[in-house]
Amino acid sequence: MAVERENSEVNDSPSVPLSYVEVNCTSSNKIRRFSIGTESGFAVNLINRKLDNGLPLALYIESVKDGEEAVNFGPNSLLTCYGDGWKLQTVTETEGRTRAPESIRRTTKHESSPLGLDELQSTKGLLPSVMGVGYIAKVVFAFVLLFVFGAVFTLALENLPKFLIFINSSM
């Protein structure tokens, strides 16, 4: 629910406006308050951090009003209230899928942050199967073959002049 509040509700002095916007988190049905001018990406990040496990994460924030087309806020957009009847709310992945038909949805979700601790712990189970004794033995064997081929070609090139002289003298 995006409601711009002024200090006149709390204090009868209308000269000092206390402005903020309220964003309804559709996952948890909780209302989060942000100051006017907060970037949408920061608000989404903060809302997602406060969600309980298992709830769908917010993708972006939109302003909705009955009978009007929704206004979507990009990650660098500043949160503002558009007036009476307009409400700010988050859009989750599940809501986004039910709203847009398959033919219209063209974007994919991209992960822009580096691996966190959760992702590293989930990949920890893969490392022993890839970095086993057999893998290390194959790497060492490849290096040995590399040096053997290098030695063979070095000896061949060092002895090539002697071999050419031998061939010319025997003819």
- CB distance 90 to 24 below 8 Å: yes
pLDDT band at 4 (very low <50, low <70, confident <90, very high): very low
Query: Are both 40 and 100 inside the same structural domain?
Result: yes
pLDDT digits (tens, 9 = 90+) for 119-164: 555 555 555 556 788 888 999 999 999 999 999 999 999 999 999 9
pLDDT digits (tens, 9 = 90+) for 96-127: 554 544 433 444 444 455 555 555 555 555 55
Query: Are both 104 and 157 inside the same structural domain?
Result: no
Which residues span the domain enclosing 141? 127-170
Number of domains in the chain: 2
Q: Residue 97 has which token pair?
A: 């899928």
For the whole model, what pTM was predicted?
0.47
